Amino acid sequence: MVESAVAVGVLLNLLLYEGVGLTAGGMVVPGYLALFLDQPLRVAATLLLAVVTWLVVARGLGRMTILFGRRRYGAMLVVGILGTWALARLAPHVAVAGADVRAIGYIVPGLLANEMERQGVLTTLAATAALAVITRLILLLFTGWGL
């Protein structure tokens, strides 16, 4: 099911980008979040961690060092990974998932934070939430997943 969720999320993300020029975080983010819409604490923690990652890099590290392009993107990913790792240690019940999904989950906050820097926090969160819900609905409709 992980593959289907990610594939549908990628397709919808590409359509959104081509249609209106916005993205829902990184390409895998809507599919990843769609897998956990029945776990609102996990989704909220992921989104909050993405905002914190963006704040740490854009408002913290970005003021102490020159970050742009790949360096900024790398900083977002590293801070997001460290935040996810810390959250998994502090609140293990939020981080319980299979190994394949957990691996994706470590990069999701950094991917979202990078898009927040590019297109704005609220715009990114709104696009991400919308595509995650649409992805989940498509999976329910075509596969009966979650019923």
- Which two structure tokens, joined as six digits, stand for 54? 């963006």
97: pLDDT strictly greater than 60 = no
Q: With 0.95 as the threshold, say if the pTM is over it.
A: no
Give the chain's domain count.
Answer: 1
pLDDT confidence bin for 13, thresholds 50/70/90:
very high
63: pLDDT strictly greater than 80 = no
What is residue 86's predicted lDDT score, i.e. its pLDDT? Answer: 87
146: pLDDT strictly greater than 70 = no
In terms of residue numbers, what domain contains 91?
1-143
What is residue 147's predicted lDDT score, i.e. its pLDDT? Answer: 46
Q: How much of the chain exceeds pLDDT 90, in percent?
A: 49
Q: Mean pLDDT in the chain?
A: 86
121: pLDDT strictly greater than 60 = yes
DSSP code string of 69-122: HHHHHHHHHHHHHHHHHHHHHH-TTTS---HHHHHHHHHHHHHHHHHHHHH-HH
Rounded Cα distance, 36 and 19, in Å? 26
Among candidate residues 56, 83, 80, 81, the one with its CA nearest the CA of residue 67: 56
pLDDT confidence bin for 105, thresholds 50/70/90:
confident
pLDDT confidence bin for 50, thresholds 50/70/90:
very high
